[in-house]
């Protein structure tokens, strides 16, 4: 089996005017790449989780908006901006919870606005350059998160993770899995327990896939087995990714993460959220203010089964995310350091460091 670390999760094909992605809905049984040219197909790719993970979606959205801009036939700013803004809003509607997509799209739009007095061709060239920089920054960010997270690990540690926040969710290395991948590069050994992460099984299909092919001792467990694994003493630390962090440190991640945090607190196991600063939304005060995406009931009732598993007509509650209360979080690992309670202060310090540090791309 090929090592996932050698693949590009999201790649812009300038010559063809398309984005190439690794279709994550086919993993782990099939490694298939999609070449997307139409905006509707790009929107679908995000919504259907063919491309997923907050950082990867941000990179994908930047490329998609550039391609939308490239196809706009306009000579004036006014004629260009209206369809450009519509394309941005359309892409942004695909995933309401993960902040990286809106962060990326807003960054691209602001660049265009700041250069509105320049020729349209030059604006398009600047958008292309910006989209590439967003990806380069993502690679740098993941490595820095990996380095910071690795300081929390010892050789031989048992790590529990939920969902997928690895290479498949970013441009390189990942967030929650980045310290593991970097540790492997340096000859370290870990025992990783991957929650299945129901109902879409990103832990079983994706995290287990990329960890196993990278040579990590990997064990898949059903979500309701996490307590027993912790009780057995097999878990030294919990590493999870995140789709949005509020100003008070409340962290929104794939559904089931809050339960893992509660269990970790009970068993005295450190619980870390690993997230780039682009995922931290200081405009949102607390977790209750985060819009939680509701997914189709079919993901629960029949998606993984030959026959329908749930009685016809029964109600289904299928939120894609929950949020972890800040009091359950030991630390938030970012590319600019590790924030610790109280997060209302430490997250401000992280952003202060960000303003003083330029990414080394």
The HSE-up count of residue 153 (CA atoms within 13 Å, CB side) is 32
Decide: helix, strand or coil at residue 97.
coil
Q: How far apart are the first and last CA of the chain?
A: 31
Strands 191-195 and 217-221, sheet pairing? parallel
**Nearest residue to 53 via CA among 285, 278, 216:** 278
Burial pattern 270-308, b for ≥16 Cβ within 10 A else e, equals ebbbbbbbbbbbeebeebeebebbebebebbbeeeeeee
Distance separating alpha carbons of residues 254 and 273, to the nearest angstrom: 12
Reduce the DSSP state of residue 238 to 3 states and report it.
Answer: strand
Judging by DSSP bridges, how do beta strands 18-22 and 10-13 pair with one another?
antiparallel
| Residues acting as catalytic residues | 243
> How many whole angstroms separate alpha carbon 72 and alpha carbon 79?
9
The answer to whether 141 and 168 have CB atoms below 8 angstroms apart is: no
Q: Cα(104)–Cα(10) distance, rounded to whole angstroms?
A: 14
Closest CA relative to residue 141, chosen from 102, 191, 100: 100
Q: With residue 257 as reference, give the H or E element that holds it.
A: helix 257-267
């Amino acid at each position: 089996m090929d090592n996932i670390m050698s693949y590009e999760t999201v790649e812009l094909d300038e010559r063809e005017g398309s984005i190439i992605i690794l279709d994550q809905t086919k993993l782990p049984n099939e490694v298939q790449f999609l070449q997307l040219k139409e905006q509707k197909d790009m929107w679908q790719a995000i919504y259907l989780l063919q491309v997923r993970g907050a950082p990867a979606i941000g990179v994908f959205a930047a490329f998609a908006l550039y391609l939308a801009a490239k196809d706009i036939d306009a000579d004036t700013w006014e004629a260009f901006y209206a369809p450009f803004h519509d394309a941005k809003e359309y892409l942004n509607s695909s995933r309401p919870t993960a902040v990286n997509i809106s962060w990326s799209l807003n960054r691209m739009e602001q660049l265009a606005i700041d250069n509105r007095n320049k020729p349209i061709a030059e604006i398009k060239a600047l958008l292309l350059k910006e989209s590439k920089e967003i990806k380069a920054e993502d690679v740098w960010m993941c490595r820095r998160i990996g380095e910071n997270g690795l300081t929390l690990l010892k050789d031989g540690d048992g790590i529990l993770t939920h969902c997928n926040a690895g290479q498949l969710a970013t441009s390189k290395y990942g967030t929650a899995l980045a310290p593991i991948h970097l540790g492997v590069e340096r000859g370290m050994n870990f025992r990783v327990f991957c929650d299945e992460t129901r109902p879409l099984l990103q832990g079983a299909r994706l995290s287990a896939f990329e960890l196993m092919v990278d040579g990590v001792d990997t064990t898949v467990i059903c979500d309701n087995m996490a307590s027993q694994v912790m009780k057995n003493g097999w878990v030294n630390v919990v590493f999870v990714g995140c789709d949005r962090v509020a100003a008070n440190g409340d962290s929104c991640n794939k559904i089931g993460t809050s339960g893992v945090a509660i269990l970790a607190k009970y068993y005295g196991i450190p619980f870390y959220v690993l997230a780039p600063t682009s995922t931290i939304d200081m405009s949102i005060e607390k977790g209750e203010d985060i819009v939680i995406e509701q997914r189709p009931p079919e993901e629960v009732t029949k998606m993984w089964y030959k026959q329908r598993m749930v009685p016809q007509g029964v109600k289904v509650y299928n939120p894609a995310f929950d949020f972890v209360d800040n009091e359950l979080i030991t630390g938030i690992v970012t590319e600019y350091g590790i924030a610790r309670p109280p997060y209302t202060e430490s997250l401000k310090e992280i952003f202060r460091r960000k303003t003083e540090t330029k990414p080394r791309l």
